[in-house]
Structure 1
Amino acid sequence: MTKQIQVVDLFAGPGGLGEGFNSLRRTDGSRHFRTLVSIEKDAAAHRTLTLRAFYRLLQDSDHGTSAYFDYLQGGEHPSKREDVQHLWKEAQQEAMQLELGTGEGNNALEARLQASLRDDSDWVLIGGPPCQAYSVVGRVRNLGVKGYRAEEDNRHFLYREYLDVIARHRPAVFVMENVRGMLTSRVGEKRIFGQILEDLHDPTTATGQKGPAAMAEREDGYTIFSIEDESVYFPLEYGLFTPVPLDEEKYDMFIVKAEDHGIPQARHRVILVGVRNDIVSRAGAPAMARQLHMARTENKDKVTVRDVLADLPPLRSGLSRNDSDDAWYGSIKRVAARVANDLLIHKSEHLQEQDRTAIAEELLEIAREPREGLKRQHEPLAKPRPVAPTSELEQWYHGDHNRNEKGLWYNHYARSHMEEDLARYLYCATFANIMGRSPLGSKEIYLDSLAPKHANWTTGKFADRFKVVLSGQPSKTITSHISKDGHYFIHYDPFQCRSLTVREAARLQTFPDDYYFEGNRTEQYVQVGNAVPPMLARKIAEKVMEVLQLEQMQTKAMQA
């Protein structure tokens, strides 16, 4: 059997990038890629990472996966089961809780790589250095910090921990993901992205570190490719001693738009794919750029929110106080009727009368006949799961479940909301159903009974505070902010009157339904929001695999 390609995953979060790479399997069921080590500092995300590593090891073994699913349904933790303890210990070796950028964390990672990484073989480095210093929101927040200096913010330079691993161990390919704000972030007067490209192109000069002895005869440095545009890579002309810089207007070509690649979410992120130059030189940079280019999905074929959420069990939200089924239904009837009557009485400068009337009529229908039998939490074994998924995405969500197995939707539990928010959610979701978009702040959420208690609600600063995840198009970006209150992620179905559950957010991120998130609900939301969509990662992994397979063929031909 061909050796599995080792993967090192830094700043792994709950494991979205790693899941995509590890999901590629040969016809005999073995993995093409196998994570040697994944690094994450957050405790809850690390537990998720470890559990998923354990699940993959079960899949590779002859033990079956019952130890995993038994635990998810309240059974014994895998670490306590004698039959699979050895696999749990192996998962713990794979998923390490370390903080990179500290002496202790860096030394522990280096020791692990020195012990187990096959430097003389092709391997892949993946990861997304923390983005708080690059994100637009983070930069605005930093402006309010007295004495803040970007050049003193270590978060700007955590990519150097990623770079150091490249310099010391020379992967065949690296994949680095970050927010699009990285392209415009500055330290002093200089855009940091240009420096990042130069550093990744020549890690020896950037770090002063040479690669392993086994790599001494291989060409130094990397060419960094866009997977969105085959004409964009750095340096522009391969083989020049001095890199030809990219025009800054070309930087946007490194942004990958997830919705253009079959992902049900408008998530736009910078993704860099670096290939070691001894590999590039054999194929030529233009040919390799064409090979790495990912074809885009036609607009008519883009996956919508409804496509991926409609088959999940509907849930009701909870009440922040004295929650019960009867109390919730009473609140829904009360607020729906009140908002409807207010709409019929109070005119708006920004809504036409027929639209106000249509929204009011739908709310009155909800008040008269709310959907019966909704619960706050899905019981995993409550009813048979739909069988025989047909589309690629349905099969991806379905995972390795037996086709006749009963329904398994974990982390699918609705939040509690104040009655005032129930009124806003009802109005916003109904508005979106009628108008095909979310209402625009206080202009269209204009009723006094719906106005939040913010002194500057009418100034426009909170225009985007309440947003519906629209059913007929890809979702807006799922971010870690979903952990705060859910106002920006209102479910499109007004009868459910709630924000998205962790499982729904995970589906929009394309995590398989058997992917379980550890931690409390807030920690689960943060993990999902910070992740790379695993199905997008799989598509990138397929391209990386093509590059490495071509390299193996060329190497064999040279040796023949």
Structure 2
Amino acid sequence: MPIPIIDLFAGPGGLGEGFSSVLDENNNRVFQIKLSIEKDQHAHKTLRLRSFYRQFPEGQVPKEYYDFVKGDITIEELYSAYKEQFKRADEEAWCVTLGTTDEEDKNNVSNESIDARIAEALNNERNWVLIGGPPCQAYSLVGRSRRQETILDEAKDNRVGLYKEYLRIIAVHKPAVFVMENVKGLLSARTESQSIFSNILQDLQDPMIPFVEIVSDDRVRYKVYSLSTAANARDLITNDPIFKPQDFIIKSENYGVPQKRHRVILLGVRNDIDVTPAVLEAKDQMTLRNVIDNLPKLRSGVTRDYSHFNWVIDKDGKSKKRRMYHKMTDSFSVWKEKLLEFESQIEGLFESDYKLTDQDFSSSLGKEFIASLNHDLPNDHPLKHWYFDENLNGVLHHESRKHLLQDIYRYFFAAQFTLEKGSFPKMADYKIAGNGLLPDHDNAESGKFNDRFRVQIPDDAATTVTSHISKDGHYFIHYDPSQARSLTVREAARIQTFPDNYYFCGGRTQQYHQVGNAVPPYLAYQIGKIVKDIINQ
């Protein structure tokens, strides 16, 4: 029988996808997600659709699924064609909010309801796995810096204590194994009296301590392991493995993921299970070019042109800039004309002989599904089996954004700069280049936004894809000057190692948000194999 999984704070299902991809020698799934909980309605729809996909045996997904992702039928028509599979998927993916008492939140449910649903899903199975990543905005280094917070206070920000919702499920339902993911900033976060990470680690080792209201004759403890560092020392009294906080940081680029995503991941094993887990095996680094270079070439669209600014008086009597724009009609001819203008404006700034040719220009903005047989990865690609689906015959979610004309100019310059220098330009480089490249923002030269326009280096792993990619693409500029655009949802999904047939529900902003919030499925797959061995032993 498959090993049951409960997935909390599931997002679009990155952790669940990785675990669900672990197969036995007969090509059957080793794990089965019994319940995934997520509060965001768009991510929940994605979870439900992927659960529907998994209701079919490996390699036997029906044609109608591909008809839907290609836009030939609606999702309602897909679900109507397979009512039983949809019913099971709908029962698995649950849209509720954990850790809230807000009565105005329509997704608010009681702990009793959550516990009943989990107990029903597990059906008295004792050896099951809990996975999930409690929301991390409170611990994020960037968020804390932006809010100018050095001390966190749960009374002021309930997100500080959201891990307790995960902890409470452990205390009540006692999984055999748990995997908890969070941001690296968790290690340095503090309340007024203590390190948050030390507190979380102690709670996870003895999860019932914070919950005096939980009465149980079956008190359990957990040993918490690093997935990157072997346990070389143990506590003489408790026999708990001893690690340094930094040992819990997983650097995804070390494990075949084309992204420098560094996250804290904790592996907990129930005390009655006398198994010392393995650690992840290092793999050759995968570069950005390895995973996106074969995708169809696109141009970005043009939205507006910035002409000048006026000084105006705001309601507080202060003088401020009001930027003046005018809308542009987007077309391939306009795009090509402007790129050639940009090329002439920066002529002489670089030593390389890079020149745009007619073959460089793509007239396509892309779309939600591009029928293409030429995007396939080479047969010797280490992750071909992971990304590729022979029934898809195209590319999902590969549509470029439209940008301000001046930003397209900066993208073009930045990509060419990166091509020659091997690193993206800082604000000082835009100032030195002149020709209107430096933004006229008041803080452009403050040093706070020195990397505001970040070209992703082609022959290195990408930087961390975060949910900020849903707001703008300035940190995720494509390395090809002739495309002069930010990365598409599919390119971001490739960096995150989502399979090519993974469909994200919602509009493009919601799709970006989901991709940025996920755990890389290929990393989760490797963790899943370690967990499988623990349960099997």
Q: Is the 2:295–2:375 contact (alpha carbons within 8 Å) kept by the matching residues of 1? A: no
Identity across matched positions, percent: 41
1:70 alignment counterpart: 67
1:374 aligns with 2:367: no
Q: Is the 1:384–1:407 contact (alpha carbons within 8 Å) kept by the matching residues of 2? A: no
- Partners in 2 of 1:60 and 1:393 — Cα distance? 18
Q: How does 1:102-117 map to 2 (within 5 A)?
A: 102=100, 104-105=108-109, 106-117=111-122
Check 1:374–1:118 CA distance in 2 against 1; reply closer, same or farther (3 A cut): same
1:434 alignment counterpart: 420
Q: CA deviation at 1:370?
A: 6.1
- Partners in 1 of 2:379 and 2:114 — Cα distance? 40
- Partners in 2 of 1:393 and 1:23 — Cα distance? 13
Aligned partner of residue 410 in structure 1, secondary structure? strand
1:391 aligns with 2:381: yes
Check 1:24–1:148 CA distance in 2 against 1; reply closer, same or farther (3 A cut): closer
Q: Is the 2:408–2:485 contact (alpha carbons within 8 Å) kept by the matching residues of 1? A: yes
Runs (5+) with no aligned partner, structure 2: 102-107, 304-327
Q: Match of 2:415, as an amino acid?
A: A
Check 1:387–1:294 CA distance in 2 against 1; reply closer, same or farther (3 A cut): closer
Aligned partner of residue 22 in structure 2, secondary structure? coil
Aligned partner of residue 412 in structure 1, secondary structure? strand
1:197 aligns with 2:201: yes
1:458-515, Cα deviation, whole Å (9 max, x unpaired): 1211101011110011111111111111011100111111000000000000000000
Q: CA deviation at 1:195?
A: 0.4
Q: CA deviation at 1:208?
A: 2.6
Q: Is the 1:489–1:499 contact (alpha carbons within 8 Å) kept by the matching residues of 2? A: yes
Name which of structure 1's ranges 462-471 and 385-394 shifts more when overlaid on structure 2: 385-394
1:53-98, Cα deviation, whole Å (9 max, x unpaired): 1111133696x42121111112333443543022112111111111
Check 1:508–1:388 CA distance in 2 against 1; reply closer, same or farther (3 A cut): closer
Q: Is the 1:408–1:514 contact (alpha carbons within 8 Å) kept by the matching residues of 2? A: no
1:324 aligns with 2:310: no
Structure having the larger proportion of residues in helix: 1
1:357 aligns with 2:343: no
Q: Match of 2:343, as an amino acid?
A: A
2:224 alignment counterpart: 224
1:197-251, Cα deviation, whole Å (9 max, x unpaired): 00000012222365877xx3xx720000001111368xx426529x79x68xx21
1:414 alignment counterpart: 400
1:460 aligns with 2:447: yes
1:484 aligns with 2:471: yes
Q: Match of 2:265, as an amino acid?
A: I
Counterpart among 246, 253, 256 of residue 252 in structure 1: 246
2:255 alignment counterpart: 261
Q: Is the 1:17–1:127 contact (alpha carbons within 8 Å) kept by the matching residues of 2? A: yes
1:304 alignment counterpart: 287
Aligned partner of residue 437 in structure 1, secondary structure? coil
Check 1:210–1:549 CA distance in 2 against 1; reply closer, same or farther (3 A cut): farther
- Partners in 1 of 2:346 and 2:392 — Cα distance? 40
1:142 aligns with 2:139: no
2:325 alignment counterpart: none
Q: Is the 1:79–1:88 contact (alpha carbons within 8 Å) kept by the matching residues of 2? A: no
1:426-478, Cα deviation, whole Å (9 max, x unpaired): 11000111011111222455325111121121121110101111001111111
Q: Is the 1:384–1:406 contact (alpha carbons within 8 Å) kept by the matching residues of 2? A: no
RMSD in angstroms over aligned alpha carbons? 2.4
2:314 alignment counterpart: none
Counterpart among 160, 164, 171 of residue 156 in structure 1: 160
Q: CA deviation at 1:310?
A: 1.1
Runs (5+) with no aligned partner, structure 1: 345-355, 551-560
1:169 alignment counterpart: 173
- Partners in 1 of 2:152 and 2:206 — Cα distance? 30
Structure having the larger proportion of residues in strand: 2
2:484 alignment counterpart: 497
Aligned partner of residue 116 in structure 1, secondary structure? helix
Q: How does 1:264-343 map to 2 (within 5 A)?
A: 264-279=258-273, 282-283=274-275, 288=276, 291-297=277-283, 301-320=284-303, 321-340=328-347
Name which of structure 1's ranges 511-520 and 406-415 shifts more when overlaid on structure 2: 406-415
Counterpart among 105, 124, 130 of residue 125 in structure 1: 130
- Partners in 2 of 1:465 and 1:388 — Cα distance? 34
1:77-128, Cα deviation, whole Å (9 max, x unpaired): 3443543022112111111111001354334322211222144431000000
State the TM-score, normalizing by the size of structure 2.
Answer: 0.88
Check 1:527–1:260 CA distance in 2 against 1; reply closer, same or farther (3 A cut): same
1:294-347, Cα deviation, whole Å (9 max, x unpaired): 1223xxx3110011111111111111131111111111111221122xxx3xxx
Q: Is the 1:6–1:36 contact (alpha carbons within 8 Å) kept by the matching residues of 2? A: yes
State the TM-score, normalizing by the size of structure 1.
Answer: 0.85
- Partners in 1 of 2:301 and 2:488 — Cα distance? 12
Name which of structure 1's ranges 467-476 and 106-115 shifts more when overlaid on structure 2: 106-115
Q: Match of 2:198, as an amino acid?
A: G
- Partners in 2 of 1:68 and 1:211 — Cα distance? 46
- Partners in 2 of 1:70 and 1:493 — Cα distance? 32
Aligned partner of residue 160 in structure 1, secondary structure? helix
Q: Is the 1:169–1:212 contact (alpha carbons within 8 Å) kept by the matching residues of 2? A: no
2:437 alignment counterpart: 450
Q: Is the 1:442–1:458 contact (alpha carbons within 8 Å) kept by the matching residues of 2? A: yes
Check 1:61–1:109 CA distance in 2 against 1; reply closer, same or farther (3 A cut): farther
- Partners in 2 of 1:332 and 1:440 — Cα distance? 21
Check 1:161–1:148 CA distance in 2 against 1; reply closer, same or farther (3 A cut): closer
Aligned residue pairs total: 503
Q: Match of 1:304, as an amino acid?
A: T
1:40 alignment counterpart: 38
Q: Is the 1:119–1:170 contact (alpha carbons within 8 Å) kept by the matching residues of 2? A: no
- Partners in 2 of 1:257 and 1:528 — Cα distance? 18
